[in-house]
């Protein structure tokens, strides 16, 4: 591992972020040594995609890391993540909310979640449709339905395309949806302020649309193997 190159890439990414935008360093497939090297440069928020990988890595790393789970989560894998995750980004079903709430309650903690919205023109990407979220909000207060979850905002992934205008519109739509839902009585007690959007390939568009949390892997660690 080239620590000088890592430090340089990390500094370059951080320099692009306005104050108040949180950087989640996406460490999926990276070794414990690579993560520790970035930790030593001051990074504390890391994001992982695979439940077992996160479960196996987190005991080997410093306990003051905030672990973000950013991948697709199946209900039978929630138990690997819910006991210690700082924030679960990709929540895309009511069933998953029920399971996350149950597991958080079992460990006596409040678990932060972001609702994932399907904003891309791609079948492979997950998430609620905006209409489904409006429907979810009609079922009563989230605080009462899922007392061990804290709804912190929305997450979305834009279409993987060179059309920057399209990417910007997709992120803009996510920002508008967050503002709309935050007014809903169902979310009145929630700190529904976060917009997790932006990766290495679409960072400028995400920041322009009002991202509060970016998930960056390649631009910090280099290409994944
Ligand atoms: C891998 C991944 C990222 C980071 O992607 P890079 O292009 O490496 O920055 C961000 N978000 C999610 C959900 C991912 O799976």
User: Along the 225 residues of the chain, how does pLDDT read in single tens digits?
Assistant: 899 999 999 999 999 999 999 999 999 999 999 999 999 999 999 999 999 999 999 999 999 999 999 999 999 999 999 999 999 999 999 999 999 999 999 999 999 999 999 998 887 778 999 999 999 999 999 999 999 999 999 999 999 999 999 999 999 999 999 999 999 999 999 999 999 999 999 999 999 999 999 999 999 999 987
Reading the block at residue 38, the tokens are 């970035």
Name the residue at shortest CA distance from atom 6 of ligand 1: 217
Instruction: Give the residue whose CA is nearest to atom 11 of ligand 1.
Output: 215
Mutate to test the pocket of ligand 1, among 215, 216, 221, 225 (most ligand atoms within 8 A of CB): 215
Give the strand pairing for 45-48 and 111-117: unpaired
Centre of ligand 1 to C-alpha 185, Å, is: 32
Q: Could you give the CA distance from residue 58 to residue 34 in angstroms, rounded to a whole number?
A: 13
Taking a C-beta distance cutoff of 8 angstroms, is the pair 73, 81 a contact? yes
The correct CATH number of 3-221 out of 3.90.180.10, 2.60.40.60, 3.20.20.10, 3.40.50.300 is 3.20.20.10
Ligand 1 atom nearest 71 alpha carbon? 13
pTM for this structure?
0.96
Q: Give the distance (Å) from ligand 1 centre to CA of residue 157.
A: 9
């Amino acid at each position: 591992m080239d620590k000088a190159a890592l430090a340089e890439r990390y500094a370059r990414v951080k320099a692009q972020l306005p104050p108040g935008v949180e950087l989640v360093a996406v460490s999926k497939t990276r070794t414990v040594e690579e993560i520790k090297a970035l930790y030593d440069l001051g990074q504390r928020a890391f994001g992982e995609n695979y439940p077992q990988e996160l479960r196996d890595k987190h005991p080997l790393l410093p306990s003051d890391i905030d672990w973000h789970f950013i991948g697709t989560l199946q209900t039978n894998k929630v138990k690997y993540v819910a006991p210690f995750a700082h924030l679960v980004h990709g929540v895309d079903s009511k069933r998953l909310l029920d399971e996350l709430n149950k597991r958080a309650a079992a460990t006596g903690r409040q678990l932060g979640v972001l609702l994932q919205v399907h904003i891309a023109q791609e079948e492979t990407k997950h998430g609620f449709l905006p209409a489904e979220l409006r429907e979810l909000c009609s079922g009563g207060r989230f605080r009462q339905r899922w007392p061990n979850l804290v709804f912190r905002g929305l997450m979305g992934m834009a279409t993987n395309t060179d059309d920057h205008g399209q990417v910007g519109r997709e992120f803009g739509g996510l920002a508008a949806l967050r503002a709309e839902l935050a007014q809903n009585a169902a979310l009145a007690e929630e700190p529904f302020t976060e917009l997790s959007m932006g990766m290495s390939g679409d960072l400028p568009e995400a920041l322009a649309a009002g991202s509060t949390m970016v998930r960056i892997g390649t631009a910090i660690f280099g290409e994944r193997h």
